[in-house]
């Protein structure tokens, strides 16, 4: 039966009728979106829409792509969350590596915390990396952003031997009493990045990028 005949039988004005996509079409589009997202998880809905237009050689509404991505829980992957918040009243330390370039293994370890999305929350990963060899000396994973997890990773790392300097950011976990006391107990010199200077701890930052993009995402 033609659309015009259906409209007449239902006494509906033909000009008010619009095509409504079927559920099957939405499912097919969602599968295409997921395939593109898995290849390029850093793309948002605008860029995915453009990729779909090229692939299908037809116009696609980007608002629809956004709606379907939200329905699937897909979001572009990019740095969002800062964990390096300094706590009031806690002491910070100068950056030592400018005049003390690490030359051999165990001269300096870099440490940091990153977050990994799991379900509806986050897991917080602390790791220590040898500045010269780039070997991961120890790590700890916790559902809580706390100093005790950092200290746990430190003690695991120290099983491999002693070191001269540890470099971290100025976050509250690395200026906490528990962390500082653990370093002083092991005669480790304390170095901290300058404010807003993530490049000061470049080795661990590079490791996070490799870990997240090649393994997690």
Which stretches of the chain score pLDDT less than 50? none
pTM over 0.85: no
Summarize pLDDT for 4-45 with one digit per residue, the tens.
788 888 887 776 666 565 577 888 888 888 888 877 777 889
| H or E element at residue 39 | helix 23-39
- What is residue 81's predicted lDDT score, i.e. its pLDDT? 57
- What is residue 155's predicted lDDT score, i.e. its pLDDT? 95
| Nearest-angstrom CA–CA distance, 147 and 175 | 9
With the CA atoms of 135, 140, 144 and 148 taken in that order, what torsion angle do they form, in degrees rounded to the nearest 10?
-100
Across 34-188, the runs of DSSP E, i.e. the strands, are 108-118, 121-130, 136-142, 165-168
Kindly list the distances between the CA atom of residue 164 and the CA atoms of 157, 180, 192, 194, 215, in Å, as whole numbers in the listed order: 13, 14, 14, 20, 31
- What is residue 196's predicted lDDT score, i.e. its pLDDT? 56
Q: What's the sign of the alpha-carbon dihedral 113, 114, 118, 120?
A: positive
């Amino acid at each position: 039966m033609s659309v015009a005949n259906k409209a007449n039988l239902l006494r509906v004005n033909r000009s008010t009728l619009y095509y409504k996509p079927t559920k099957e079409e939405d499912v097919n589009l969602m599968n295409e979106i997921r395939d593109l997202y898995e290849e390029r998880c850093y793309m948002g809905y605008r860029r995915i829409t453009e990729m779909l237009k090229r692939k299908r050689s037809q116009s696609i509404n980007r608002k629809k792509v956004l709606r379907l991505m939200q329905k699937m829980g897909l979001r572009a992957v990019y740095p969002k969350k800062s964990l390096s918040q300094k706590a009031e009243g806690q002491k910070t330390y100068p950056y030592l590596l400018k005049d003390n370039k690490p030359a051999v293994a165990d001269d300096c370890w870099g440490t940091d915390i990153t977050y990994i999305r799991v379900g509806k929350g986050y897991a917080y990963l602390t790791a220590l990396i040898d500045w010269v060899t780039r070997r991961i000396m120890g790590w700890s994973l916790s559902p809580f952003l706390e100093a005790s997890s950092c200290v746990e990773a430190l003690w695991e790392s120290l099983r491999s031997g002693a070191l001269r300097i540890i470099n971290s950011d100025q976050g509250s976990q690395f200026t906490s009493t528990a962390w500082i006391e653990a370093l002083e107990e092991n005669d480790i010199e304390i170095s901290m990045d300058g404010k807003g200077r993530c490049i000061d701890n470049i080795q661990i930052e590079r490791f996070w990028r490799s870990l997240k993009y090649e393994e997690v995402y």
